[in-house]
C-alpha cells in the first residue's frame, strides 16, 4: 500500500539534497503541480518561485482562481499572460502531436526567460507516471506526447526535477490529502489546456466556444452530482469537433459545429470507462450548449468510448 506520509518525508529530504539553488516550478493549479509546489516549498522555502502561465487555453475564470490559490499557499509567485504568444504559435497547426510539441516548447522558453532574469537553475515539474509512460521511450510507443515530457526541447538549459515521477494519480491525491491541499479532489486538466479539446486549429474564436461548452458541462454535472442524481465522474468536459452539420433553428437552416461531451470514470488515467450519465442530464447539457452557443453549435453528441481503445482526451 502507498504510504503518503512516508513519501512526503522522504521526498522533502531528497529535494533538499538535489536542489542547490533558486528553483522555478511550472504551476498550473492542478493536483500534481500543487502537490509538487507544496513539497518543494516545504523543502526550500522562498527559493522556490511558482510560475503560472496563462496560455489563453484556460477554462472560464481559471487564471483568477489559480492566482488566489498561489496566494493562499503563500507561494512566491509570478503570473505571466502569454496568450498572444500561444495563439500566434498555433496558427495553422492542425496535427495534435505538433500542437503538443509547440505548447511544450512555448512553456519552456517562458520558463527559461524567467530563469535568466531571476538566476534560476532548476525547473520542477509535476510529471506523474502516466505522463512519461504515454509519451513513449525506447521500449514503448508514443500514445501522446504529454507537453511536460515529449514536448521538452532537447536544448533546454534548466536542470529538471520531477518529485512525483513514479506516482499514479490516485497516489498523488493521497499525498494531497495528507498535505491538506484544497485541490486534492479537483478533476485533472491537461497542460496544453483547451487547445487539445479543439480538434484541428485552436483559434481564439474556437477556444471561446469550447470554453463556454466546458463550463456548461462542468456546472451541470457538478450540480447533478451534488443533488445525488448521478455519481461525479473522474473527469468531464466538452470537445469541439471540426465537423459541421445541418440543423434547424427557429424555422431557419443552421450549419454549425459539433460538441462532444466526454465524462469518464478512472483510477489512474491509464484506463477509463465512459460515465453512464442519466439521459435527462445529458439532454439538459445539450439544450444549454445549443441555446448558449446558438449559431455556432447545433449538434451535441456523447462519447461512449472506453480507454482503450480511446483515450480520455480526444487529442
Ligand atoms: P489521455 O487523454 O492520455 O489522458 O487518456 C490521461 C490523463 O492525462 C491528462 N492529459 C494530460 N495532462 N499534459 C497533462 O498534464 C498533457 O499533455 C496531457 N494529455 C492528457 C488527461 O486530461 C487525462 O486526465
Index of the ligand 1 atom closest to the CA of residue 192? 17
Q: Is the pLDDT of residue 150 over 70?
A: no
Nearest to 101 by CA among 139, 129, 135: 135
Same structural domain for residues 147 and 226?
Answer: no
Lining residues, ligand 1, CB within 6 Å: 100, 130, 134, 144, 146-148, 188, 190-192, 235, 269, 307, 311-313
Range of the domain at 72: 4-178
Residue recorded with cell 504551476? 27
Same structural domain for residues 163 and 291?
Answer: no
Nearest CA to ligand 1 atom 12: 190
Residue recorded with cell 466538452? 238
266 to 171, 285, 313: CA distances (angstroms): 13, 22, 13
Same structural domain for residues 153 and 210?
Answer: no
pLDDT digits (tens, 9 = 90+) for 61-111: 999 999 999 999 999 999 999 999 999 999 999 999 999 999 999 999 999
Q: Kindly give the distance from the C-alpha atom of residue 192 to the centroid of ligand 1, in angstroms, as a whole number.
A: 9
Residue 185 belongs to some domain of the structure: no
Same structural domain for residues 12 and 142?
Answer: yes
- H-run or E-run covering 315: none
CATH number at residue 114: 3.40.50.620
Q: Decide: 107 and 114 in contact? Cβ < 8 Å.
A: no
Same structural domain for residues 262 and 296?
Answer: yes
Index of the ligand 1 atom closest to the CA of residue 313? 2
Index of the ligand 1 atom closest to the CA of residue 103? 17
Residue 310 belongs to some domain of the structure: no
Q: Is the pLDDT of residue 30 over 70?
A: yes
Q: Kindly give the distance from the C-alpha atom of residue 314 to the centroid of ligand 1, in angstroms, as a whole number.
A: 10
Same structural domain for residues 145 and 280?
Answer: no
Same structural domain for residues 13 and 121?
Answer: yes
pLDDT digits (tens, 9 = 90+) for 116-142: 999 999 999 999 998 888 888 878 888
Last residue of a domain, one of 124, 143, 178: 178
pLDDT digits (tens, 9 = 90+) for 185-220: 999 999 999 999 999 999 999 999 999 999 999 999
Same structural domain for residues 59 and 202?
Answer: no
Q: Give the orientation angle of helix 169-178 with respect to helix 4-18, to 10 degrees.
A: 90
- Give exposure, 163-178, as e/b (b: 16+ Cβ within 10 Å): bbeebbbebbbbbbeb
The model carries a pTM of 0.92
pLDDT digits (tens, 9 = 90+) for 49-70: 999 999 999 999 999 999 999 9
pLDDT digits (tens, 9 = 90+) for 244-285: 999 998 889 999 999 999 999 999 889 999 999 999 999 999
* Residues 6+ positions from 220 with CB-CB distance below 8 Å: 281, 284, 285, 288
Q: Decide: 151 and 190 in contact? Cβ < 8 Å.
A: no
What is the 3-state composition of the chain as percent helix, strand, coil, each rounded to the nearest 5? Answer: 40, 20, 40
Report the SS3 class of residue 51: strand
Q: Kindly give the distance from the C-alpha atom of residue 118 to the centroid of ligand 1, in angstroms, as a whole number.
A: 30
pLDDT digits (tens, 9 = 90+) for 218-255: 999 999 999 999 999 999 999 999 999 999 988 899 99
Residue 188 belongs to some domain of the structure: no
Total domain count for the chain? 2
d(CA 170, CA 172): 5
Q: Is the pLDDT of residue 149 over 80?
A: no
Nearest CA to ligand 1 atom 20: 190
Average pLDDT for the chain:
95
Residue recorded with cell 509519451? 135
d(CA 14, CA 197): 37
Q: Kindly give the distance from the C-alpha atom of residue 130 to the centroid of ligand 1, in angstroms, as a whole number.
A: 8
Index of the ligand 1 atom closest to the CA of residue 310? 5
Index of the ligand 1 atom closest to the CA of residue 30? 15
Last residue of a domain, one of 178, 207, 235: 178
Q: Where are the alpha helices (DSSP H) in the chain?
A: 4-18, 31-44, 62-72, 83-89, 96-118, 129-135, 169-178, 204-226, 279-292
Nearest CA to ligand 1 atom 6: 269
Nearest CA to ligand 1 atom 10: 190
Nearest to 110 by CA among 96, 139, 92, 89: 89
Amino acid at each position: 500500500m502507498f504510504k503518503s506520509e512516508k513519501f512526503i518525508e522522504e521526498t522533502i529530504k531528497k529535494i533538499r539534497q538535489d536542489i542547490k539553488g533558486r528553483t522555478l516550478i511550472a504551476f498550473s493549479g492542478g493536483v500534481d503541480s500543487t502537490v509538487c509546489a507544496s513539497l518543494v516549498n516545504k523543502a526550500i522555502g522562498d527559493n522556490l518561485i511558482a510560475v503560472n502561465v496563462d496560455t489563453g487555453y484556460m477554462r472560464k475564470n481559471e487564471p483568477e482562481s489559480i492566482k488566489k490559490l498561489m496566494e493562499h499557499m503563500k507561494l512566491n509567485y509570478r503570473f505571466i499572460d502569454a496568450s498572444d504568444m500561444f495563439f500566434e504559435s498555433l496558427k495553422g497547426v492542425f496535427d495534435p502531436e505538433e500542437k503538443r510539441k509547440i505548447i511544450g516548447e512555448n512553456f519552456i522558453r517562458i520558463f527559461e526567460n524567467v530563469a535568466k532574469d531571476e538566476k534560476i537553475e532548476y525547473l520542477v515539474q509535476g510529471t506523474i507516471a502516466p505522463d512519461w509512460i504515454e509519451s513513449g521511450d525506447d521500449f514503448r510507443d508514443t500514445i501522446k506526447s504529454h507537453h511536460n515530457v515529449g514536448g521538452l526541447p532537447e536544448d533546454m538549459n534548466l536542470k529538471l526535477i520531477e518529485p512525483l515521477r513514479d506516482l499514479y494519480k490516485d497516489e498523488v491525491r493521497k499525498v494531497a490529502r495528507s498535505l491538506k491541499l484544497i485541490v486534492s479532489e479537483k478533476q485533472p486538466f491537461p497542460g496544453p489546456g483547451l487547445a487539445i479539446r479543439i480538434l484541428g486549429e485552436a483559434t481564439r474564436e474556437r477556444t471561446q466556444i469550447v470554453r463556454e461548452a466546458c463550463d456548461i458541462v462542468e456546472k451541470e454535472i457538478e450540480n447533478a452530482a451534488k443533488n445525488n442524481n448521478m455519481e461525479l465522474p473522474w473527469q468531464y468536459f466538452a470537445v469541439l469537433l471540426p465537423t459541421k452539420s445541418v440543423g434547424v433553428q427557429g424555422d431557419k437552416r443552421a450549419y454549425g459545429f459539433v460538441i462532444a461531451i466526454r465524462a469518464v470514470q478512472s483510477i489512474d488515467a491509464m484506463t477509463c470507462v465512459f460515465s453512464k450519465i442519466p439521459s435527462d442530464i445529458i439532454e439538459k447539457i445539450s439544450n444549454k450548449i445549443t441555446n448558449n452557443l446558438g449559431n455556432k453549435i447545433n449538434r451535441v453528441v456523447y462519447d461512449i468510448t472506453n480507454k482503450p481503445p480511446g483515450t480520455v482526451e480526444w487529442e
